[in-house]
Amino acid sequence: MRECSVMIGGKAGEGINTAGLTIASLFNHLGYRVYMYFDYPSLIRGGHNFAVIRAAEEKIGATRDTFDILLALDQNCIDRHTEAIRDDTIVVYDSYQVVNATGHPIDVDRILKEENAPQITKNSAIIGGFCKAAGIAWEILTDVFKTTVPEKYLDVNLRVARRGYDAAPEVIRIEPLGRPTLPVLTGNQAAGLGLVRGGLDTLVAYPMTPTSNLLHFLAEHADDLSVKVIHPENEIGVMLMALGLAYAGNKTAVCTSGGGFCLMTEGLSLAGMSETPVTIVLGQRPGPSTGVPTYTSQADLHFVLNAGQGEFPRFVVVPGDLEEMYYWSAVALGLAWKYQIPSIILTDKTLAEGGYTFDIDASGAIPELPPVFADGVKPYRRYAATEDGISPLAFPPESTAPVKANSYAHDEAGFTTEKAELVAGMQEKVLRKAESLHRELETFRGVEVAGVAGAGIALVCWGSEKAACIEAAARFGVKVVRPLIFAPFPVRQWREAMLGVHRVIAVENNATGQLARLLRQNGFWVDELVLKYDGRPFSVDELERRLAEVIG
């Protein structure tokens, strides 16, 4: 497989994330499939930011340990990534900031002064140098800038990029693959588009890494996508406002991470008792508490599965790539409204903020999941005890009857009660709804199988670790089995996927093996754990080394 890994690094505030996405778009124009990992500390300015862009002929979603090309905006970038620089790594650097490097210098400071350009354009000079060093035609860079740089800043960025282009030598030539281009999106953007596809009316959110960019994306495109975006004072306000909107008939989603979800859990229980639909996009990052807020983790699984007091059904799905993020975001919104339950899309920083080539045709057909509405003829009872547990919906102002929403135990009309038979009857109605949801999800693909069919060893993983596991599995000749639906857990599909497997290895981004624990709770065993919990995802090379220790 032809592939190329590029790293660009500098200080926070120098537009490293934007530069990385631009490089990803350049590869995309050449017909490559791309993945970008963005690494940054929790600082507004300063520190060390870097983006790793990997381009390959086939779909990918993880990085390698070394770089083919390194683009350094300062000396810190060289010093911190020495181990990733091979003898044949091409290094292009800002000669004003880098004093000790071997490679191809570009006098960025002089270019900016002569072009009367702002400091933020310095990464354009380096990107220009990258294109020349990689043998990418100037016309392709121009086309990409026209789609990624705002028009009022386009001219100055093109002038600076051209100076960088002319200052670098051509070292290699990355050949075009001649395939059509695809959009390069982040997981947050794919989630936003999926929610809109599912009928989203309103997103309510308080910014919190790593899902802040979902809020920003939908706010920026609110008019184009016909959605409302509201930013309340905190996460408690977010959840309560979302429930109020849903009570009024507004399809609403929220986004947050573990800390914000903590504050939302009382509202989550209110959604469970009042049977109010709400969809939550939760991006995992290391905890507890603030933890390492700009890095990644898979440690909130059991928190999400058990959050809230009492017993009520919920739908929890864990996408592993952009196509799944798009599809399941739409489905999660639909299921929340059909079954009047909370639905949770559990993602992580790696997927939420990572840049990927997005193929919407590979997402699959999104099913229609219409809510059950009151017929307007019969006397309305908000919590009518139906056979499938789903009570028809009506919204205020309803002319024939009041529409109740009650956090207290209630009767079918929604009036508060403490009578034993009514309390038990409503609990049984809610559990019938959970059984109906479980039956419907049997028609969905809740477990994914990849790798070598019929292999006796299986890697089990979840979320964004999908890509690294699939690449590593090819080397070891094993299969990869991955649940997509976590609640209600697809027991039958999992059992079928594991037929013939005699050894199970769980690969996870947490310290205790949370997927392995969930599997044990459902009667399935894991033999070995391969865990990483330093806030970084597995690279393909690292995972292969760790698996070699286990598999041999």
Give the pLDDT confidence of 51-105 residue by residue, as tens digits: 999 999 999 999 999 999 999 999 999 999 999 999 999 999 999 999 999 999 9
Confirm if 480 and 503 have CB atoms less than 8 A apart.
no
Amino acid letter, 17 = N
Q: What's the CA gap between 378 and 281, in Å, rounded?
A: 36
In the chain, % of residues over pLDDT 90? 95
Q: Does the pLDDT of residue 399 top 70, yes or no?
A: no
pLDDT at 339: 98
Confirm if 283 and 349 have CB atoms less than 8 A apart.
yes
- pLDDT single digits (tens) 504-545: 999 999 999 999 999 999 999 999 999 999 999 999 999 999
Bridging pattern class, strands 355-357 and 457-460? unpaired
DSSP for 223-261, written as a single string: HHHT-EEE--SSHHHHHHHHHHHHHTT--EEEEEEHHHH
Distances (CA, A) of 135 to 9, 24, 93: 21, 15, 17
Mean pLDDT for all residues in the chain: 96
pLDDT at 379: 85
Total length of the chain: 552
> Token digits for 111?
């270019």
pLDDT at 552: 79
Q: What's the CA gap between 290 and 297, in Å, rounded?
A: 13
Q: What's the CA gap between 292 and 286, in Å, rounded?
A: 5
Residues sharing a CB contact under 8 Å with residue 436, sequence separation 6 or more, in sequence order: 339, 388, 389, 390
DSSP for 112-144, written as a single string: HHHTT--GGGHHHHHHHHHHHHTT--HHHHHHH
Backbone angles phi, psi at 213, to 5 degrees: -70, -20
Closest CA to 376 of 388, 394, 390, 391: 394
| Buried-state track 70-94, b at ≥16 Cβ within 10 A, e below 16 | bbbbbebbbeebeebbeeebbbbbb
Domains of the chain: 3-167 (3.40.920.10), 185-362 (3.40.50.970), 447-551 (3.40.50.920)
Amino acid letter, 45 = R
Q: What's the CA gap between 181 and 549, in Å, rounded?
A: 39
Q: How much is the average pLDDT of 239-268? A: 98
Biggest CA pair distance of the chain: 82
Strand partners, 316: 344, 487
Confirm if 87 and 70 have CB atoms less than 8 A apart.
no
pLDDT at 401: 77
Residue 376: which pLDDT band, with cuts at 50, 70 and 90?
Answer: confident
Backbone angles phi, psi at 331, to 5 degrees: -65, -40
